[in-house]
A and B are shown apart, each in its own frame.
Chain A
Amino acid sequence: MSSNVSETSMDLSDKMNSMINSNQDGTHKTKSLWLDAFNNLKQDKAALFSLFIVILYSLVAILSALGIFSADWNKEVGPSYAAPSMDYWLGTDIFGRDVVAKVIHGTQIAMSVGLVSSMIAIPIGLTLGAVAGYFGGWIDEVIVWFYTTFSSIPYIMLLMSIAFILGKGLTSVYLALGLTSWVTLCRLIRSEVMKHKNRDYVQAATAIGGGHGRKLFKHIIPNVSHIIIINTSLQFQIAIKSEVILSYLGIGVQGQPSWGTMIDDAKLELARGVWWQLAGATMAMFFIVLAFNILGDALRDALDPKLKGK
């Protein structure tokens, strides 16, 4: 307990120092949270390494999307089901295609699924959550009813239904994941905005004649935006895992390799002793999901002062 107390007081003095420093620099006070968070994150080796892995995967995905990496994943490079060797690091699949190239192309799919679904979910969750929390009253009741309704259908059921109705393919995966994953963000933003709307700085904004739009978008949302970052980090890994399941169920990615379709292939391959597609896709997925998990936790600790010291 005593160590806990000293930790918090240290945090406090750290914070005050950074506040004083930032004031001397003439920078805005809101930046101190981010600076503080960055300093916290810098000390966390696991989080830094996770950030490095995320950046690495993003680079691979971008280079693959630009056609610099794995553009010829569809090319027959060797015999069918060649075991891993110096020529083919992860062996080949049934059509003699290089598994490494497929894993890289899968990275592109996985990262794009995380990115696009987040880009669909964030505007919905942020707008609804902010509006509900800020205005309260009947608007809040309607929005709460709406997301309660949405989250009452079990995630996997809703995800499968939307993907199925929209038809097979990557676009439906994006949409299904985006449309099912805004609820958590909406809930978090709503409760945070509720706390902020009566704070001094918002009242000050009212006093100088700021309208609703200005107060909400200029003042409150920047102060709750760290929630978006934490949530996105955790959302990414859920999206990546879900893509794999949808692709296995046959309502996901079609006509190009993804980690999901590779694991699905492995269902028939394992009995023949072909383990490399499963291993390749699982390992590739393992590191990025792990990195997002650790990073999400570290970001929460760094950005959410409430949880400090726990």
Chain B
Amino acid sequence: MKNYIIKRLLYIIPVIFGVCFIIFVLFNLVGGDPTHMLLGKHATAQQMEELRRTLGLDRPLLYQYFDIVKSAFTFDFGRSWNTKQEISTMIMDGAIPSLSVSLPGFILSSILGLIISVVVAYYRGRKIDTVVRIACIAGMSISSLAYILFFQWFFAYKLSLFEISGYEYGFPNFLPYILLPSIIWIILSIGPDVRFYRTVILDEIYQDYVRTARAKGLSEIVILLKHVLKNAMIPIITYVVIQLPFLILGALLLESFFSIPGLGGITLNALNSSDFPVIKAMAVLSAVAYILFSLLSDILYTVFDPRIKLK
């Protein structure tokens, strides 16, 4: 197991180099000359040359590539072309509003999803199981944009139950602003969550050890909560851990609709203003977060499940 963990740890290095290479190809090679976009059509050749030098785009491509790789380790992403702010500061400032929306929603939807799927697994094959399954698929088939638009219009605008949009920093102050976005987050993620948890629990229910437990005369509830859930927790924990990096990225669409100044909003603004360094930074950051958390989930998997033997 020790060997596996060391190997797995070392593997993140070629993956980070690869991720940086994809971002480099996209933004430094295919992306074309951003000076056109920044200066407009009437820029002189000299102006463009100057801008290219200040942005560091005249340097050899290999240097530009290693700049991206370096940023993946130091988190120093340089300055935004648009606001001229230090990007790492922008990210730090945006992380709190993002997390204040995504974290409560994520925790509540995970717990709620788990409870629903245990109940549904208990009544598997019966009416309530079918109803929940259909509701999950149906709920997942509606565009997330439609949910956000409708909820914001109906509950915030029409009924005035919630703030329509905006954000305030500081603990109790932000609560009214994150309430509706968090509810929408829960509704959006409960469908896929329940579907996944249910499949995992049902996978376990047909195992031999469950039959043994039943033969011993244990009640269905004890089997489900004590035996099945314990085993099902392994893939469930992996699934939860792997979602954590997306919390950092924030809920892109929710933030844009509710004007929450989080990382999702920063990314969308950067897209609209062709702010390459910010988009690159967000791509690198989210990829590094994903790599680290998938490393964590793989290690958790091997630690918690002794059945898994890895070469």
Interface residues of A (CB under 8 A from B): 1, 4, 145-146, 148-150, 152-154, 156-158, 160-162, 164-166, 237, 241, 244-245, 248-251, 259-260, 263-264, 266-267, 270-271, 278, 281-282, 285-287, 289-290, 293-294, 297, 309-310
- Distance from B241 Cβ to chain A, minimum over Cβ atoms (Å): 15
- In the complex formed, the residue of B with least CB distance to A240 is B143
Residue among B149, B206, B249 with max Cβ neighbours from chain A (10 Å): B149
Give chain A residues whose Cβ lies under 8 Å from the Cβ of B249.
154, 156-157
| B146 CB–A CB distance under 8 Å | yes
> Which of B145, B206, B282 lies in contact with A248, CB distance below 8 A?
B145
| B93 CB–A CB distance under 8 Å | no
20 further interface pairs, Cβ-Cβ under 8 Å (given A158-B283, A271-B157, A290-B141): A1-B214, A148-B18, A149-B15, A152-B18, A152-B19, A152-B287, A153-B286, A154-B245, A154-B249, A156-B252, A157-B249, A157-B282, A160-B267, A161-B283, A249-B268, A270-B157, A281-B143, A286-B138, A287-B141, A290-B137
Q: Is the CB of A149 within 8 A of B246?
A: no
- In the complex formed, the residue of B with least CB distance to A4 is B206
Q: Could you list 13 A-B pairs, sorted by A, with CB under 8 Å?
A: A152-B15, A152-B291, A153-B19, A154-B245, A154-B246, A158-B283, A161-B283, A241-B143, A248-B253, A270-B149, A290-B137, A293-B137, A309-B206
Query: How far does the alpha carbon of A259 sit from the alpha carbon of B142 in the complex, in Å?
Result: 12
Whether A310 contacts B157 in the complex (CB less than 8 A), given A149-B22, A263-B145, A290-B138, comes out as no
Query: How far does the alpha carbon of A136 sit from the alpha carbon of B140 in the complex, in Å?
Result: 37
> Which of A157, A266, A294 lies in contact with B283, CB distance below 8 A?
A157
Query: How far does the alpha carbon of A290 sit from the alpha carbon of B157 in the complex, in Å?
Result: 29
Number of interface residues of B (CB under 8 A): 47
Give chain A residues whose Cβ lies under 8 Å from the Cβ of B199.
310
| B290 CB–A CB distance under 8 Å | yes
- In the complex formed, the residue of A with least CB distance to B202 is A310
Whether A161 contacts B290 in the complex (CB less than 8 A), given A150-B22, A244-B145, A282-B146, comes out as no
Q: Is the CB of A251 within 8 A of B271?
A: yes
- In the complex formed, the residue of B with least CB distance to A263 is B145
- Distance from B50 Cβ to chain A, minimum over Cβ atoms (Å): 24
Q: Is the CB of B18 within 8 A of A146?
A: yes
Give chain B residues whose Cβ lies under 8 Å from the Cβ of A148.
15, 18
Q: Is the CB of A245 within 8 A of B144?
A: yes
